Structure 1
């Protein structure tokens, strides 16, 4: 199975789970990990700019990685997934949790 099909299946499953577990619009917590010495944190902040998101960061013990938590009110699961895809496309080396 190619990776794009696995990715599509993952997002379809996530969308279903989001509809099953929350009433929309709803608060959603995104979690990402980026290399600390890149522009990743700033890129994520820019992606969620003007959405009223609360963004917190935490650098790893050795300083190599930074975790980024984004708490934001989203209207639909489809919009949640759009943001995941936008981050994956625009932030090099990001890990989505």
Structure 2
């Protein structure tokens, strides 16, 4: 799972618990939250990410890298609480070759 690279947490569970705590301390939910991902340039991958946000009000902007191999994907979504943010990250992390920022 790419999100754990360079992270000092021993497990994904530790990482997500720490993330939830930081979100609760630094955000005033409900609010628009900006998710950022790097994905291989592939419509199927973008569609998989869209599915994670199904039923959530969001806007998405994409920008391909210079060589077109990767796409930066920014999604601003209205989320109700830190649990929803963590859930979205967990679902996107299941998509192969997606880097969570």
Residue matched to 2:44: 39
Which residue among 80, 88, 96 is the counterpart of 1:92?
96
Which residue among 59, 62, 67 is the counterpart of 2:67?
62
C-alpha separation in 2, matches of 1:37 and 1:31? 16
Report the CA distance between 1:49 and its aligned residue: 2.5
C-alpha separation in 2, matches of 1:72 and 1:27? 5
Q: Provide TM-score, normalisation by structure 1.
A: 0.88
Report the CA distance between 1:73 and its aligned residue: 1.0
Report the CA distance between 1:14 and its aligned residue: 0.8
Pairs aligned (count): 94
1:52 and 2:76 correspond: no
Structure 1: state its 5+ residue gaps.
none
SS of the residue corresponding to residue 33 of structure 1 reads strand
C-alpha separation in 1, matches of 2:23 and 2:42? 33
Report the CA distance between 1:37 and its aligned residue: 3.3
C-alpha separation in 2, matches of 1:94 and 1:38? 13
Report the CA distance between 1:63 and its aligned residue: 0.2
C-alpha offsets along residues 8-46 of structure 1, whole Å, 9 cap, x if unaligned? 111111111111111111211110111113611111112
